[in-house]
Amino acid sequence: MDDNEQKSSRNTEEGINISIEVLEAKHEDMLLKIFKESRQDLTWISGITEEQKESIIAQQFMMEQQQLMEMYPEAQLNIITMDGKPIGRLYIYYGKTVDRILEIGLLEEYRGRGIGRKIVTTVVGNAVEKEKTVSLQVAWFNQGAYAFYEKLGFKVVENKGIAYEMKCIL
């Protein structure tokens, strides 16, 4: 890890006590659960058994992991914990001038509590201290995420058809 990366982050503001820790092999099952809960677009799969559906979702997860590692081999893969319990994931690439949030997701029961906002504002704050910007992509159909990032100062800088490229403009 270099100076651009977060080793571990604790936050107790507003009653939120979270940590961002480097991902370990023991978190693999939890990552799949977080993926499934943050990919409601996969619920449309029908006409197959539940076992087949689970297999397709697991394949999608593995493809996403592989693609991210091919595109960003130096990305930092993190698990988000609350009081030691894994509740989410944060994949981030620390570039020279731009930090890129590749994936962020929380288990459904932890959404709407300000945790995601706190994580993103921490990432942005760390980048600003280093005179960098923060970028990410949001799928066009994920209007909740789009609105979330827009409230945090992100603006669309490019419409890529299936996704919006966004940057934090402070």
Q: In whole angstroms, give the CA distance from residue 103 to residue 78.
A: 10
38 falls in which pLDDT band (50, 70, 90)?
confident
In which region does residue 98 sit, left (phi positive, over 0), alpha (psi from -120 to 50) or beta (all else)?
beta
The pLDDT assigned to 97 comes to 95
Residue 83 confidence (pLDDT) above 50: yes
Higher pLDDT among residues 156 and 18, named by residue: 156
Q: What is the pLDDT of residue 35?
A: 87
pLDDT grade for 25, boundaries at 50, 70 and 90: confident
Token pair for residue 50? Answer: 């539940």
Q: What pLDDT, on a 0 to 100 scale, did the predictor assign at position 100?
A: 97
Strands (E) in the chain, as ranges, are 8-11, 18-22, 76-82, 85-94, 98-106, 133-139, 154-159, 163-168
pLDDT digits (tens, 9 = 90+) for 39-61: 766 667 778 888 888 888 889 88
Q: Where are the domains of the chain?
A: 11-168
How confident is the model at residue 3, as a pLDDT? Answer: 42
pLDDT in tens, 126-168: 999 999 999 999 999 889 999 999 999 999 999 999 999 999 9
| Residue 10, pLDDT score | 47
pLDDT at 15 over 50: yes
Residue type (1 letter), 141: F
Let me know if domain 11-168 sits in CATH 3.40.50.300: no
DSSP 8-state secondary structure symbol assigned to residue 75: P
Predicted pLDDT at 4: 43
Phi, psi of 23 (to 5 degrees): -60, 140
Of the pLDDT bands very low, low, confident and very high (cuts 50, 70, 90), residue 16 is low
Kindly give the interhelix angle for 50-71 and 28-38, rounded to the nearest 10 degrees: 100
